[in-house]
Structures are given as structure tokens and as C-alpha cells.
Amino acid sequence: MLLSAENVSKTFGSLRAVAGANLAIDEGEIIGLIGPNGAGKSTFFNCLAGDTLPTTGRIVFDGRDVTRASPEEHAELGVGRTFQVPATFEDLTVLDNVMVGAFLRHPHRGAAREHALQVLDLVGLGDRQNLRARSLGTPGRKRLEIARVLATGPRLMLLDEALAGLTPVELQQAIALVKKIHQTGVTLVIVEHIMEVIMTLAARVIVFNQGHVIAQGKPADVVRQEAVIEAYLGRGHRNWRKKD
């Protein structure tokens, strides 16, 4: 097992955003994490990546208790995450943004640059390395956010709506990119409202509702479950393609 979350909760005042969530992730998996707006998916990612301290519960990564570890310690150990609102440095170039991630494993500037350029090629931003991040459109930003995390050399990548807001063509390219990243040996958890992404990429789907897991299993089985249709997909799959 690569990561396990046991009985993880996060409360904000009287709101239980995450309410006793359990999840076990094996190395090499692609897991889809779905659920309605406000279900606690991003907050759960925050807990898994050290961006917030869970109120209760325990998180173990690669045999180590990381419940109280900082985001930097998580990155060091190999847990990388993208943010729903991209955390790019707008005034830095595309290359410099990715070098920020690359410095984690390549302290020397030359090696960091080399590695960042390789990552930019992988994500298809090689020809835009000298542009300011702010000048990228939505698909470029999404790729840059993925590249920044990828450059830190994660074993586990948590993607929080990293494929949202793309045209159908861009979406297919982004799906291909995620497959490519998976093929390099990275384990992935993907939060996405676009069911097509989940059905195409995930071998296992976890459904969150009101802070905890209400269903999990193979995508085709999960989407037929009454509780999942009730809480998320809706009658006639009204949210099949996109939910905002």
C-alpha cells in the first residue's frame, strides 16, 4: 500500500468538511475521486498533502505517519498535488515556474533547468518556456500546474480538477498526458467533475458525499449505484459530462 487515510476528519467550526474518510491507495493505481460541490474532496486533498492538519485520523504514506507533516515534507517524500485554483507564479516564465519544482531534487541550477525542460517537453509546453505564466490560456495553465508538480518527482500525484475548462480536443490531449504520466510510474488520484475523464482514466472510483466515502469500486459499477445517482449523478445522468 502506498498511502492510507484512516478515519480522517476536518472540521471548520461546526462544519464537518471531511467526516471520517477512509482510503487505501496501492502503488500504480489511478483512482477517480468524485462527488458533489462541497463534498470535501479538495479539503481531503489538503489533508493528504499536508496543506491542512486533519482534526482527527491518521495518514500513512509509504509506511510513514505523515498526518502532521508539512507540504514540503510531503513533496520531499513524493506526494505532489495540483490546486483547483492554479498555484503558478504569474510573473515568472513558464520555465522558471517548473524550475521551482525541479529544485527539490536538483539543487544545482543547471540540473534543475535540464530537468524542468524535460518535464516541459513531456507536458507539451517546451515551445512556450520563455513566456510569462500569466500569458498562458486555460489549457496552458493547467499543463503548467501539472508540470510544476511533476518536476518535484512525485510518486503520488493528486490532481484537483486539473482538466477542467478545456475544449473537447484539449481534454483528449490532457487525458493522453495523464496516461503518459501514469506510464512513467506515478500513482494518481484524480478529482474531476467531467465523468468522461473519470470513466476513461480511473480503474477505481471513490465517491465522496458530505465528507465521507459513500461508494467505491469499478467505474462502471459505481455509476449504477443508487446512492451515487442520488447524491451526485442525478436521474438521466444530468451530470454525465460536466458539473459545476
107 vs 183: CA distance, rounded Å: 26
Residue nearest to Mg ion (CB): 42
62 closest CA partner among 46, 47, 49, 79: 79
Number of residues that bind ligand ATP (CB under 6 A): 12
Task: From the list ligand ATP, Mg ion, none, pick the one residue 38 interacts with, judged by a Cβ distance below 5 to 8 Å according to partner type.
Answer: ligand ATP
User: Closest separation between CB of residue 38 and ligand ATP, Å?
Assistant: 4
Between 122 and 191, CB nearer to ligand ATP: 191
212 vs 23: CA distance, rounded Å: 10
86 vs 188: CA distance, rounded Å: 18
Stretch that binds ligand ATP, among 11-19, 131-139, 148-156, 221-229 (CB under 6 A): 11-19
Buried b (16+ CB within 10 A) or exposed e, 208-231: bbebbbbbbeebeebbebeebeeb
Task: From the list ligand ATP, Mg ion, none, pick the one residue 187 interacts with, judged by a Cβ distance below 5 to 8 Å according to partner type.
Answer: none
Residues between 24 and 83 that touch ligand ATP (CB under 6 A)? 35, 37-43
User: Closest separation between CB of residue 178 and ligand ATP, Å?
Assistant: 19
Between 51 and 170, CB nearer to ligand ATP: 51
Task: From the list ligand ATP, Mg ion, none, pick the one residue 43 interacts with, judged by a Cβ distance below 5 to 8 Å according to partner type.
Answer: ligand ATP
Buried b (16+ CB within 10 A) or exposed e, 8-35: bbbeeeeebbbbebebebeeebbbbbbb
Residues between 23 and 82 that touch Mg ion (CB under 5 A)? 41-42
Q: For residue 10, how many C-alpha atoms fall within 13 Å in the half-sphere facing its CB?
A: 23
Task: From the list ligand ATP, Mg ion, none, pick the one residue 35 interacts with, judged by a Cβ distance below 5 to 8 Å according to partner type.
Answer: ligand ATP
Q: Which residues bind ligand ATP (CB under 6 A)?
A: 12, 15, 17, 35, 37-43, 84
